[in-house]
Amino acid sequence: MTTSLTTTRRLLDPAEARADLTRPALDTLLTEIERSGLTGRGGAGFPTSAKVRAVASGARRPVVVGNGMEGEPLSSKDAVLLAHSPDLVLDGLEVLARAMRARRGVLAVGPEADPAPATAAARARRVEVVQLDGGFVSGQETALVGRLNGRPGLPRDPFTRVSESGVAGRPTLVLNVETLAQVALVARHGADWFRSAGTRDDPGTSLFTISGAVQRPGVVEADRGTRLCDVIAPAWPVRPVAVLVGGYHGAWVPAADLGVGLTRRDLAAYGAAVGAGVLHVLGEGGCPLAFAADVADYLAGESARQCGPCVNGLPHVARNLRRLAAGVRDRSLPAEIARMAQLVTGRGACAHPDGTLRFVGSTLEVFAGHVAAHLEGWCPTSRQAVAS
């Protein structure tokens, strides 16, 4: 699924790819990035200026890493961006690397992306392109840094931040590839231009990957703050029941609320965030609990198997969710899932347990009626008894 559905706007515009590289000094660049209000497009949504500042203030020359690992199976926007606009991504990386007097610039591409366009575009630049394999957690910042240091791609304890000690022990800036492309555009056109799209609190555009119950799955670019229903419209959704916003670590927005704007603030009511822009449409044909149990099983299996609460807690939750989906009429199941979710959240080296449990919690909340029906032995999706 590497189709671009977008009427070309910013990130996938071939004219942008041909423009000359600007070389602003660090102060100028930082001021523009800060004024732009750009936030990370890889999932966590952290202000980009703060990340740059934390690394730039280090005593040693830093390393800048472009993160194109895209471990989320429902996301393909990074692969599409790297295929259509590799120069824009590399411009962003190079602008930052030059301004910060970086020792190294590395672009890490995940197993699903074609590394050829970026490799060709990097030939005339001082940027390395590497393709790495890896599963769901391979794009976690500390896992990627570990991998670039020649270790297995596993998350490490975040007590020492990669902004202090990352690749080769140097202060390391890790930014998602879309974030880098946005940095290139901010450097080229300025903060005011960037802010001319999106909302005051959540400016700019984002790439979104649309999948699930749609006739044309693919990637679109839209202003932050666009209504969810308008963003998924070009993919031709088929009778949506709910949309999973933010991917397997995300949360559900039910069909009745698809007018919600895709901003940090508007989505907070659902426990969701724009994140990496994953929008997965659940249609009428799929039981949400069966879907969620499949996802929870997958995510439990994608644990890096390092942290006890994650290794033990996620399978426990997945097992009980599966029993609920299968129609086991045990009224204690939802409370037991909630208890374990509360116990495990916040007790891991990376975002995997918290993200997984956010998804499970949202499922039980948004589909509470469905849960109640299953506990009565009835599935509203199939309109049949669920066997137990």
Give the binding site for another protein (CB under 8 A): 154-157, 159, 306-310, 312-313, 316, 340, 342-344, 346-349
Give 345's DSSP letter.
T
Strand order in the sheet with 218-223: 218-223, 205-212, 278-283, 240-245, 251-254
Q: Tell me how far, at minimum, the Cβ of 285 lies from another protein, in Å.
A: 36
296, 310 contact by CB (below 8 A) = no
Q: Tell me how far, at minimum, the Cβ of 159 lies from another protein, in Å.
A: 6
Residue number with CB closer to another protein (155 or 246): 155
CB neighbour list of residue 335: distance below 8 Å, 6 or more residues apart: none
Give 42's DSSP letter.
S
Spell out where the chain has E strands: 63-68, 104-109, 128-131, 172-176, 205-212, 218-223, 240-245, 251-254, 278-283, 378-379, 384-385
State CA 348 to chain mean position distance: 19
Q: Tell me how far, at minimum, the Cβ of 323 lies from another protein, in Å.
A: 17
According to the 3-state scheme, what is the secondary structure of 244-257? EECHHHCEEEEHHH
Q: Tell me how far, at minimum, the Cβ of 312 lies from another protein, in Å.
A: 4
Cα torsion 232, 238, 243, 244: sign: negative
Q: Tell me how far, at minimum, the Cβ of 343 lies from another protein, in Å.
A: 6
Helices 77-84 and 86-99 meet at what angle, rounded to 10?
90
Pull the structure tokens for residue 321.
């969710």
Residue number with CB closer to another protein (204 or 353): 353
Residue number with CB closer to another protein (168 or 343): 343
Q: Tell me how far, at minimum, the Cβ of 349 lies from another protein, in Å.
A: 5
Length in residues, the chain: 388
Of 51, 81, 64, give the one whose Cα is nearest residue 185: 81
How far apart are the C-alpha atoms of 217 and 116, rounded to whole Å?
24
Residue number with CB closer to another protein (5 or 137): 137
Q: Tell me how far, at minimum, the Cβ of 315 lies from another protein, in Å.
A: 11
SS3 60: coil
Residue number with CB closer to another protein (301 or 308): 308
Q: Tell me how far, at minimum, the Cβ of 344 lies from another protein, in Å.
A: 8
Residue number with CB closer to another protein (31 or 306): 306
Residue number with CB closer to another protein (296 or 307): 307
Residue number with CB closer to another protein (239 or 305): 305
Residue number with CB closer to another protein (136 or 208): 136
Q: Tell me how far, at minimum, the Cβ of 142 lies from another protein, in Å.
A: 10
Cα torsion 178, 180, 186, 191: sign: positive
